[in-house]
Structures are given as C-alpha cells and as structure tokens.
Amino acid sequence: MLSYAAEMMPLRRREQILILAPNFDNVGAMIASAVVILSSSLGPSVELLTLSLTALIGLLFLALVRFRLPESVRWLYSKGKIEQAKAEILKLGEKTEDIQEKEKVRKVSLFSRYWFLVAIGISQYLTYGLMAYYIGDFYFPSLENYIVLIANVGASAAGFLAGFLINYVKSKMFSLFSFLGGTVTMIAILLTIDSITYDMTLFYGLLLLNMAFSEFGWAVRTIYEPLILPNNNRAFLIGLVRVFPITLNSISVYFLSFSNSPVVYVLYNTGLWALGAIASILWYYKGYDVNLTPIEVSSQSKVLS
C-alpha cells in the first residue's frame, strides 16, 4: 500500500495520504478494543460475532477499492512496460497541478538509507507493540483492554494531527521531533513507574502522550520507507526493512515475559526509543527532506526515457 500511494498520489498531498491511510490501523484497533470492553458483559459469543462482522465489512470494502485502482505507472515504467504505463495514465485523466518541486537532494548511499529505516523501524514498531499490547498482559491483566484503548486513542488522534502538520514541517525536523519526544515521554514513564500501582491515571496520561509520539514515529516511517528506496524494488526493500522489527518484536516479547520487573520492561523501551532518536539525529544532519520532492529524486532512482 505504501509503495502504491507514494508512486500514484499527487505530490502536494502525498505525505498526508501516506500518514492518514495507515492511521486507520490505529482507529481499527481503538474500535476493536472498545467493542471488547462494551461487549464483554454480553458474553464471548457476542464479542466474537461483533468483531467478525467488523472484519468482514472491512475486507469487502478493501476488495472493492482494490479492483478499481489502476496499476502503478512508475512501477510499470521501471519494469520497461511503457505501453501499459501509458494506458494506465489515460485512466487517470489529464488534470495536472503546477507546484514548485524540489529537483535534487543530498546524495546518501542506499546502505545508509536502508539502515536508517531499520533503526527507526525497530524503535517505533517494538515500543508501540510493547507499550500498547503487552505491558497490560504482563503486569496489569485486569486493565489490558483499557490500556489498548487508551494507547490507540492517543495514536489515532496523533495520526490525524500528523497528517495536518506534515504540510508545515520538513520531514527531517518531523522525524527528530517524533523520536526525541518519544524518548522524553518514555523517560517520564520510567521515572514514575513505581507509582503506577497507586495512580494509574498518571500512567494513562503518559502512555497516551507516548503513543502520540509513537504515531508520529510511524508517520515518519510511512513517509520515508516508500520515498527513499529505489523504484524498481521498493516493495521488496520495504519488506526487507520490516523483517528486523517484526523478528525482534517476537524475540523481545519472549524474553521480557520472564521479567517480573516493570522497571526493566520500561527501561528496555527507553533504550529502543533512544535508538530511534540517535538515528533521527544522524538523518537530520546527514539525510534530506522529501517534502514536495518527486519520488524519482527522493529515491535517487534512474527513470526510463
């Protein structure tokens, strides 16, 4: 989905769409947790039926949209399918918009771009999952659904806010703000973790704020992943980037399940946030912005003539 949106959406709205479309994952998780909480008193069968109907409606909508979408023109060009690409262009209409495009970016090796994405991917993906879904299961089982709900309320709201902010903030600065903010709020949770037993309200507030920064971090990933990787194997490389956070998430959950200390758990998350902060600082000084930059330029790809 990210590859397609990056290649086919209008340049002026591209980053907004890259942020807002995946944000409905958070909205869906928020709705699902609310459904679980509200239907838990009605029995597991009602809960399962409600979730199944919601999923079925989503799948039908997804199938309908997919069949109506044209193929990615840039992907067809990169594969040498020029005539098919021209045919797809005709489906899009002739209306264009004049904007001032960025014509060049700083040269950064694919190796550096790839490992920047891996670092922020590990940082954001693991901290979101561990704080939204597993901390309740490990340490507050009776409050698990409430923690998931609050976490995704924060993430969902921040996703819509990020879609607005990206038109006014350069992508490097947005990355720096997101991961430094996540690190600071996680440190705040670490410093107050001992008082959580007595005041869950404080934890809920800090968690909501941290998950907002997590969504900002997710927005950074959904912008940079499709825009700085090469055209001809973009989807494959995005998958290769995500292998690391997905694998490390499973490993982290396994080993943290043996820890009885919330302090150790939150300290580990703080270290993960720090990894993303370091990567975003390095990118701020060594990388480049992608706002209003054609994907052929931002991905440093060659285009067939």
The string of pLDDT tens digits covering residues 190-217 is 999 888 767 788 999 999 999 999 999 9
Domains annotated for the chain, with CATH where assigned, are 2-298 (1.20.1250.20)
Segment among 35-39, 247-251, 276-280 with least mean pLDDT: 35-39
Tens-digit pLDDT profile for residues 133-178: 999 889 888 888 889 999 999 999 999 999 999 989 999 999 999 9
pLDDT for residue 304: 42
Residue 46 has pLDDT above 70, yes or no: no
Q: Using CB atoms within 10 A of its CB, is residue 124 exposed (0-12), middle (13-18) or buried (19+)?
A: buried
State the average pLDDT over residues 54-65: 71
Instruction: Give the mean model confidence (pLDDT) for residues 105-131.
Output: 96
Q: Helix 144-165 vs helix 14-39: angle between axes, to the nearest 10 degrees? A: 160
pLDDT of residue 189: 95
pLDDT at 54: 66
Kindly list the distances between the CA atom of residue 25 and the CA atoms of 80, 205, 215, in Å, as whole numbers in the listed order. Answer: 34, 22, 11
C-alpha to C-alpha distance for 24 and 61, rounded to whole angstroms: 13
Rounded CA-CA distance 305/302 in Å is 9
Q: Say if residue 301's pLDDT is above 90.
A: no
Q: Give dist(CA 148, CA 201) in Å, integer.
A: 15
> Are the C-beta atoms of residues 189 and 206 closer than 8 Å to each other?
yes
106 conformational bin, left if phi > 0, alpha if psi -120 to 50, beta if neither: beta
Across 75-89, 233-247, 249-263, least confident range = 75-89
Claim: this prediction has a pTM higher than 0.75: yes
Cβ neighbour number for residue 80 with a 10 Å cutoff: 10
**Whose CA is closest to 213, among 119, 124, 122, 116?**
124
